[in-house]
Chains A and B, each alone.
Chain A
Amino acid sequence: MHADEKFTDATWPASPEKATLEGKNKYLGFWLFLGGETVLFASLFATYLALKDKVPNGEAALAKDLFELPLTFVATMLLLTSSLTSVYAMYHMKNNHFKQMQAWLVITIALGFGFLGLEIYEFNHYVHKFHHTFTSSAFGSAFYTLVGFHGGHVAFGLMWFISLMVRNARRGLNLYNAPKFYIASLYWHFIDVVWVFIFTVVYLMGMVG
């Protein structure tokens, strides 16, 4: 079975992402990579918790002064919805519906950009309103590093989706690019899961204490 072979709906395999050995390797390798990423974010979370509200003097802003739930709630909804739309995209990928897959990916990307825009607005707000910057305190460094690492992952994920969609726009799905789309969406889900923890640990726990 050659990877660039053309398929009809009838011959398209049930799990195209794992139909070739290369696909199988990518699928497993990427899950393992996400295991490493989990440890990476765990280290960042631990650092954040150790340095939360650790500031040089009494005037510096603390977590409870900074965070506002409405903004982060909207951001959370955007990102969670984008995870759902990427599931729809993968559903169509598995059914060899290339156009629908691209359409859902476009929605996913739009939501991702919406999230990123809100995050940039939020950071800007903290810097100018509260003078809460990357260099102002250990708390600031830890906050921007943890949330910024996540934001960087979102940006990378968006670039990844876009380059995959542009590259494959004219030739449709085959067993060579199906695993590529699939692992990009795995990555997107992972980013979403990390955000759930950031929302809980940074924002919700930041609000209460």
Chain B
Amino acid sequence: MSTYANKKGFGATIWDYLTTVDHKKIAILYLISGGLFFVIGGLEAMFIRIQLAIPNNDFVSAGFYNEILTMHGTTMIFLAAMPLVFAVMNAVVPLQIGARDVAFPFLNSLGFWLFFFGGVFLNLSWFLGGAPDAGWTSYASLSLHSAGHGVDFYVLGLQISGFGTLMAGINFLVTIINMRAPGMTYMRMPLFTWSTFVVSALILFAFPPLTVGLVLMMFDRMFGANFFDVAAGGNTIIWEHLFWIFGHPEVYILILPAFGIFSEIFATFSRKRLFGYSSMVFATVLIGFLGFMVWAHHMFTTGLGPIANAIFAVATMAIAVPTGIKIFNWIFTMWGGSVKFTVPMLYAVAFIPTFTMGGVTGIMLASAPADYQYHDSYFVVAHFHYVIVGGVVLGLLAGINFYWPKMFGTILNEKLGQITFWTFLIGFHLTFFIQHFLGLMGMPRRVFTFMDNQGLNTGNMISTVGAFLMAFGVLVMVINIIITSVKNEKVGNDPWGDGRTLEWAIPSPPPFYNFKQLPLVRGLDAYWVEKMEGKKEMTPAEPLGDIHMPNSSFLPVTIAFGLFVAAFGALYHMDDKSWTLPIIILGLLITFGSMLIRSIKDDHGYHIHKEDLMDDTDKGGKA
């Protein structure tokens, strides 16, 4: 047993979470902090919609509006959607492949703390002289001339959390390649594991260009370099390329896990094998591949020329093909199944038309000549909210409802869940559907107000009302979570009754070693295969033996904290303050010193002995 596992009390629990390397606890950390940032980003969205509710509004000033809209986008993408995706991945993927943990438990914890400190650093900008105000894309032509330290917070905060994301990506790749249970071949992996696999590869190749872009921006703003300064020979388009070479795969990094979650939900609640499993795998891989070929469709109006625009337009439209395959496969999975409309299934069913609408406007935007009309208008805002909220957020809400029992051992209330679902869905369409038309009528995006008598009043008011409905839905969900946690009614291994994959074969929540004996996987939907043969549990693939577990460690926190400290030094370095250099050095010493300790201190982990496992029958349950 780890030293602190048996101790009770608040302090011990906090210490446990600060030092944990258990993927299930890290999932909870990601869920809590991602949820918190989601609420902050949501509040920023409410500020935007209140400001735009009526013409010539002065609820916020123009400058403050820029900060809010920048932080809304940045927070939602990097600090809410990404960690919530990682929460589900951490909670589910090791269980789905029948592993006892991820390949690098220490790195998993380090990834979380880097994300956390990066996110906190970015949000501290609100209290330290103003948030970034150059949009979430932070185009160099704007951000180089942004006064104050807002953009510096953006650059350094994203840099730190980006390292964490890269580590998580490598970790999941190695986990899925090396740690699958006996019999779990690639083509028997559940679709969510497949999408995690593809997404991790995307992270591995998409985040380094962002790292470079942010480094160049940091050098330009803080250390006097000239990458984007045209007067000194620089070129601002380099930022656009680097940002979008990262930024476009990023949207697939977000949406593919949602596709994976929905694939699990459709199969479970239709009580049918996922239709066209191999074509689903193929489509996921193809989307991941094509995701790297299309970044310049964000830059049609930059002036790359007709040939470049044509190539990127065609590549973009090609992505509709594998996406269409997926849409049809989900519909065919429901066809002829005995469908149960639980809350996760409601989200899944609503997702299909919603996401398809976002896809259709995507094809419209992909037509380069037409894009000159749509560019930088509310049409674009409507499009990407249809795919990101209608795809990613619905996927995450579905996933959180679906996997809540596995993560916490309790099940969220169905009635309240339905209230959240309906208010959120209706609110969403009210908010964003009308924005297509606002955009076509000429309302530009990122504008802090609009004039009266331009035909934009009604549309904007409807949009704001919708936003309040969505906020209400989220509020009900928070209440639901609180009520469920207070009641604390425990559920069994397979609370939905129709679990198909390995995670439903073990207790909810699983014991810290997951599987007492690694399970033998005998087909796709391994647990379902056993169920169909009348068995209640998996067949073990190994005799009961000692289990090797990793040690807890506080070092991930200190490594991440050192970078957090150094970032403050770098940030104020451009003000010619004398204390900045010592702070940079101190922070880096903390980080590299912790890494050195990690390197020279042996960490062999520990073993849970066979005899302890046998005593533990109520906690473990066989694989």
* A163 in contact with B600 given A47-B238, A141-B227 (CB within 8 Å): yes
How many chain A residues sit at the interface, stated as a range, is 35 or more
* Interface residues as binary, A1-41 with B (CB distance below 8 Å gives 1, 0 otherwise): 01110000000000000000100110011001101110110
Cβ–Cβ < 8 Å partners of A142 in chain B:
227
User: How far is it, in angstroms, between the C-alpha of A180 and the C-alpha of B599 when the chains are bound?
Assistant: 9
In the complex, whether A140 has a CB less than 8 A from a CB of chain B is: yes
* Contact (Cβ within 8 A) A140 B205: no
Given contacts A32-B174, A47-B238, A141-B225, contact A4 B233 (CB under 8 A): no
Flag the segment in A50-58, A69-77, A79-87, A192-200 that touches B: A50-58
Q: Any chain B CB within 8 A of the CB of A118?
A: no
Partner pick for A36 among B104, B207, B238, B596, CB 8 A cutoff: B207
- A37's partner among B173, B208, B234, B599 (CB-CB below 8 A) is B208
Pairs of residues from A and B, 5 with the lowest C-beta to C-beta distance, nearest first: A54-B233, A138-B233, A141-B225, A40-B208, A43-B212
Smallest beta-carbon distance A165→chain B, Å = 11
A4 in contact with B223 (CB, 8 Å): no
**Any B CB within 8 A of the CB of A115:** no
CB 8 Å contact bits of B216-253 with A (1 = contact, 0 = none): 10011001111101011111001001100100000000
A124 at the B interface (CB under 8 A): no
Q: Does B618 make an interface contact (CB < 8 A)? A: no
| B174 contact set on A, CB distance < 8 A | 25, 28-29, 32
Q: How far is the CA of A176 from the CA of B207 in the complex (A)?
A: 30
| Cβ B226 vs Cβ A141 within 8 A | yes
- When A47-B227, A141-B227 are in contact, do A163 and B596 touch as well, CB less than 8 Å? yes
The answer to whether B204 and A32 touch across the interface, beta carbons within 8 angstroms, is: yes
Instruction: Tell me, rounded to whole Å, the shortest Cβ–Cβ distance linking A131 to chain B.
Output: 14
**Chain B residues within 8 Å of chain A by Cβ, number:** 42
Q: Which residues of B contact A141 (CB under 8 A)?
A: 216, 219-220, 225-227, 234
Asked if B225 and A135 sit within 8 Å, CB to CB, the answer is yes
B205 touches A138 (CB 8 A): no
Bound CA–CA A40/B232 (angstroms): 24
Question: Which residue of B has the minimal Cβ distance to A56?
Answer: B232
- Return B245 CB to nearest CB of chain A, in Å: 8
Q: Does any Cβ of B come within 8 Å of A188's Cβ?
A: no
- Beyond the given pairs A40-B211, A138-B233, 7 more chain A to chain B contacts, judged by CB atoms under 8 angstroms and listed by A's residue number, are A25-B103, A28-B173, A50-B235, A54-B234, A55-B232, A138-B226, A164-B599
Give the CA-CA distance A32 to B179 in the complex, in Å.
16
Which of A47, A54, A55, A139 counts the most chain B CB atoms within 10 A? Answer: A47
Q: Is B7 an interface residue (CB 8 A)?
A: no
Classify the interface of chain A: helix, strand, loop or mixed: helix
Q: Is the CB of A135 within 8 A of B226?
A: yes
Indicate whether B604 reaches chain A with its CB closer than 8 angstroms.
yes
Are B235's CB and A51's CB within 8 A?
yes
Given contacts A50-B238, A142-B227, contact A28 B599 (CB under 8 A): no
Q: CB of A95 within 8 A of chain B?
A: no
List the interface of chain B (C-beta within 8 A of A): 103-104, 166, 170-171, 173-174, 177-179, 204-205, 207-209, 211-213, 215-216, 219-220, 223-227, 229, 231-235, 238, 241-242, 245, 596, 599-600, 602, 604
Given the complex, which residues of B lie within 8 Å of A29, measured CB to CB? 103-104, 170-171, 173-174
**Contact in complex: B170, A44 (CB < 8 Å):** no
B residues within 8 A CB of A145?
215-216, 219, 225, 227
User: A167: nearest residue on chain B (CB-CB)?
Assistant: B600
For the complex, give the distance between the alpha carbons of A197 and B167 in Å. Answer: 26
Q: Closest residue to B227 on the A side, CB-wise?
A: A141
The answer to whether the Cβ of A100 comes within 8 Å of any Cβ in the partner chain is no
Q: Which among B103, B207, B212 is the interface contact of A47 at CB below 8 angstroms?
A: B212
A36-B170 in contact (CB<8A): yes
Q: From residue 152 to 172 of chain A, which have CB atoms closer than 8 A to chain B?
A: 160, 163-164, 167
With a CB–CB cut-off of 8 A, which chain B residues contact A140? 226
With a CB–CB cut-off of 8 A, which chain A residues contact B229? 138
Beta-carbon contact of A33 and B216 below 8 Å:
no
A151–B216 Cα distance when bound, in Å, is 17
CB-based nearest A residue for B225: A141
- Separation of A163 and B595 alpha carbons in the complex (Å): 11
The minimal Cβ–Cβ distance linking B428 to chain A, given in whole angstroms, is 35
A164 cross-chain contacts in B, Cβ below 8 A: 599
B212 pairs with A40, CB closer than 8 A: yes
| Complex contact A43–B231 (CB within 8 A) | no
Query: Once the chains bind, are A51 and B234 in contact (CB under 8 Å)?
Result: yes
> Considering the complex, which residues of chain A in the window 117-159 have a beta carbon less than 8 Å from any beta carbon of chain B?
134-142, 145
CA distance A43 to B229 in the complex (A): 18
With a CB–CB cut-off of 8 A, which chain B residues contact A21?
178
Give the CA-CA distance A54 to B207 in the complex, in Å: 27
How long is the Cα–Cα vector from A47 to B227 in the complex, in angstroms? 8
Q: How far is A121 from B177 in the complex, measured between Cα atoms in Å?
A: 45
A164 to B245, CA, bound (A): 36
Contact assessment for B205 and A137 in the assembled complex, using a CB-CB cutoff below 8 Å: no
A36, A51, A160: the one contacting B227 at CB < 8 Å is A51
Distance to closest chain B CB from A76 (angstroms): 24
Contact with B along A173-198 (1 / 0, CB 8 A): 00010001000000000000000000
What separation, in Å, do the CA atoms of A21 and B602 have in the docked complex?
16
A167, B231: Cα distance in complex, Å: 50
What 1/0 flags go to A77-120 for Cβ under 8 Å of B? Answer: 00000000000000000000000000000000000000000000
**Pair A4/B238 contact, Cβ less than 8 Å:** no
Given A4-B604, A32-B174, A51-B225 contact (CB < 8 Å): no
| A25 CB contacts on chain B under 8 angstroms | 103-104, 174, 178-179
- Please pick, from B170, B204, B220, B242, the residue contacting A43 in the complex, using a CB distance under 8 A: B242
What are the residues of chain A within 8 A of B173 when measuring CB–CB? 28-29, 32
Distance between Cα atoms of A136 and B227 in the complex (Å) = 11
Q: How far is the CA of A158 from the CA of B225 in the complex (A)?
A: 27
In the bound complex, do residue A4 and residue B215 qualify as a contact, i.e. CB atoms below 8 Å apart?
no
Min CB–CB distance A181 → chain B (angstroms): 12
Pair B212/A138 contact, Cβ less than 8 Å: no
Chain A residue nearest to B103 in the complex (CB): A25
Identify the closest chain A residue to B173 (Cβ): A32
* Residues on A with beta carbons closer than 8 Å to the beta carbon of B166: 36
How distant is the Cα of A176 from the Cα of B227 in the complex, in angstroms? Answer: 44
CA of A39 to CA of B208, assembled, Å: 6
Query: What would 14 A/B residue contacts be, using CB atoms closer than 8 Å?
Result: A2-B604, A25-B179, A29-B171, A33-B170, A39-B205, A40-B208, A40-B212, A51-B235, A55-B233, A56-B231, A135-B225, A138-B227, A138-B233, A180-B599
A28 touches B596 (CB 8 A): no
Shortest distance between the CB of A150 and any CB in chain B (Å): 13
B220 neighbours in A (Cβ, 8 Å): 141
A54 surroundings in chain B (CB, below 8 A): 233-235
The answer to whether A4 and B602 touch (CB under 8 A), given A137-B226, A138-B229, A145-B219, is yes
Q: Are A36 and B208 in contact (CB under 8 A)?
A: yes
Closest Cβ neighbor of A54 among chain B residues: B233
Quote the shortest CB–CB distance from A61 to chain B (angstroms).
Answer: 12
Q: How far, in whole Å, are A16 and B235 apart by their CA atoms in the complex?
A: 49
Structural contact, B599 and A163, CB atoms closer than 8 A: yes
Answer whether A36 and B178 are a contact pair too, CB < 8 Å, given A29-B103, A54-B234, A145-B215: no
